[in-house]
Structure formats: structure tokens, C-alpha cells
Amino acid sequence: MARIPALQGNGFSQETMLDMMKPKGKFYGVRGSFVIGDTKIGGHTTCHTLQFGRKLIIFDFGSGMIDIGNELMKRYLMPGKTIKDVDVFLNQYVAQGSDIKNLGQALLESGHLNQEEELDLTFMSSHVHGDHLFGAQAFKPIFSPKTKIHMIGGLHCGMNLFEVMQQFNFRPPVFPVPWEYLGSKRDLRVIEPNEHFEIENDLQPIKVWVLPMNHPNGSYGYRFEWCGHVIAVTLDHEHGKDEFDKNIVRLWEGADVVVTEVQYTKKMYEDKRQGYGHITAEAAAQHAIEAKPKRIITTHHDPDADYDTVQEIARTIERHSHIQTTFAVQGMVF
């Protein structure tokens, strides 16, 4: 059983303690490549949370970030104020040509936000393709001086996460509010391939291991260990290159939960999709047979994949590997 470090004797029941020590998560965007209009599985691009005790990690910044941003923003609001009010305030401030430099301070003084709540968030990034990036503009807490964001990500084409956000997300004429005038306080950790590091947390630090994966412009997979639990997150990657295939197996090895992209059936892949940077159900099953994780959740579903195809991908992995496999649906918790 997992070690129970700091909570012993704090009056919590054994059951409550074990539950607090169990990492959790929620899917806010489960599509890869492009946003689509699908109400059955969900149409937002990749974004999910990982919750380790009180530490909230937001993993990738696809369009699903809109919803997690609005959920978090509700904690800030004065009684009677709504997300819509904040939206109107921000848009009118910009539209009226007010001083963009003071947007954060103006939001603070607008009477929309309560005095108590502060958010401390960690953003982690697999890579910076558009489907993992452009939701950040709609993440309302990023405009508030009451939000602290610790960003973690690697280099892609020599650019770090701050530089990418600055150049492609928050910069006129693409977006009216420049990166440097966002109200939130942000810091950055640039990860190296094959790096081990820790994220401070209640009970125990979260141990993180990062390995590079095979994907155009580079992509990183993560393995998290906390309070005896292991979660692996391997978004965009393609099979077929031995050194990278081995990395996937290392990250998945014995994990309690693997959250991974599996975008294609074998047939889809063989129909001119080699080299796009995504894996098939059959290849993922092969990794699973070697790594023996306890559970797999597929996400980053292809925009062309309907419910039956997404289901078939999960079933194929389970049939080949005999490891419990489900597919993520927008709003699903784990």
C-alpha cells in the first residue's frame, strides 16, 4: 500500500486519506488536429487536467481550455457576477482603446473579482502544435493578476513555451493583448529530454520524468509518480522508430493510468497517414504488452473518427493487449 506521509494523525479517516492520495483528472478537450462540431465524444482539442491532492496541472492548451478557464474563473467572481460579465468587461476594455498595459489592474479594480481567491496553476506542454496551443487565448484566468502560472515545456525548433506564446498566441494582429500585458504572473521551466525533476506538492513532491517522442517538430511524454501512484501522459507520437518506441514503453511501464493519443486504426494509417506523427491501435497494443500498465485511456481522437471508430481503436488495444482500455469523452473524469 502507498505510504501516507504527512496526514497521519490529522483526523482524516483511512478512506479519505487514500482518496486524497489518488491522482485524478478530467478531459476538457479530446480531439486532435482540429476543432470539430461533435456532441457525442466532444469537439474541443486536447486539454485535460491532472489533480495531485491540491496541485492542479493543466496539460496542453487546446480549445478545451475555454471550459476549464471558465470553471476556475467562477471561484474569483463577486456574488452576482458571471463569466459573461468578465467577458464583456475584457472585450469592451480592449475595444474602447483603453491602455492595454493596465488591463490586469483594471480587471482587478472593476468589481468583478472577489478579494480572497488566488489561483496557483501549473501548465504542462507536450508540444506546441496549434491544436495544443490556441485555447490559451480563451483561458480567462490568464488575464487576472490573481493568477500564478508555472509553465513547463520543452524546446521546439529552438523556441521555448514563453517565446511561442509571445509570438503566435498573444501578439497583434493575431490577438489584441500582447503576452507581456497579460495580468497573470508566469514563470517557465524549460525541460530537457530525459530529465527527472520534482514539482513541490502537499504530502510528497510529484516526481516527473520526461522523454522525447517521435513527432514532427518534437513532442514530450511525461511520467508522474506521487504517493505510490503512476500516471503516464503520452500525447502526439508515432510508432516505428526504435529509440522512441522504447521511450513510450519506459513511460508506460507498470503505470496505474496511461493517458495517450491513439489516433488511427491500421487501415487509416496505411491510407497515406504515415509520417503524420500519430500511432495506430495495433502499435499502441504492442507497447502495452511490453509495458503492462494497469489501464489505458485514449484521447486526441482524429477529427474524421466517428464514435464507432474511436470505440474500435480502444477495443483493438484491449483485445490485443488484454489491458483495460477506454476512450476519453469530453467532460469525463478519471
The DSSP code sequence of 3-43 is ---S-TTSS--HHHHHHHTS-EEEEEE-B-SS----SSS--
Q: Is 109 exposed, middle or buried (0-12, 13-18, 19+ CB in 10 A)?
A: exposed
135 within 8 A of 62, measured Cβ to Cβ: yes
Among 55, 129, 237, 239, binds Zn ion (CB under 5 A): 129
Q: How far is the CB of 254 from Zn ion (least distance, A)?
A: 26
Q: How far is the CB of 23 from Zn ion (least distance, A)?
A: 23
- In the bound complex, which residue of the shown chain has the CB atom lying closest to Zn ion? 129
Q: Would you give the DSSP letter of residue 317?
A: H
Q: Which stretch binds Zn ion (CB under 5 A): 30-38, 81-89, 113-121, 147-155?
A: 30-38
Q: How far is the CB of 332 from Zn ion (least distance, A)?
A: 18
Residue closer to Zn ion (CB basis): 33 or 265:
33
The letter for the amino acid at 199 is I
Q: How far is the CB of 276 from Zn ion (least distance, A)?
A: 9
| Opening angle at CA 215, ends 211 and 218, nearest 5 | 60
Q: Which stretch binds Zn ion (CB under 5 A): 25-33, 51-59, 184-192, 321-329?
A: 25-33
| 239 lines the binding site for Zn ion (CB under 5 A) | no
Residue closer to Zn ion (CB basis): 113 or 297:
297
| 32 lines the binding site for Zn ion (CB under 5 A) | yes
| 69 lines the binding site for Zn ion (CB under 5 A) | no
| 131 lines the binding site for Zn ion (CB under 5 A) | yes
Q: How many residues bind Zn ion (CB under 5 A)?
A: 4
Beta bridge partners, 124, equal: 59, 152
Q: How far is the CB of 69 from Zn ion (least distance, A)?
A: 20
Whole-angstrom Cα Rg for the chain: 20
Q: How far is the CB of 145 from Zn ion (least distance, A)?
A: 31
The letter for the amino acid at 53 is G
Q: Quote the CA–CA distance of 171 and 240 in Å, as a whole number.
A: 38
Binding site for Zn ion (CB under 5 A): 32, 129, 131, 236
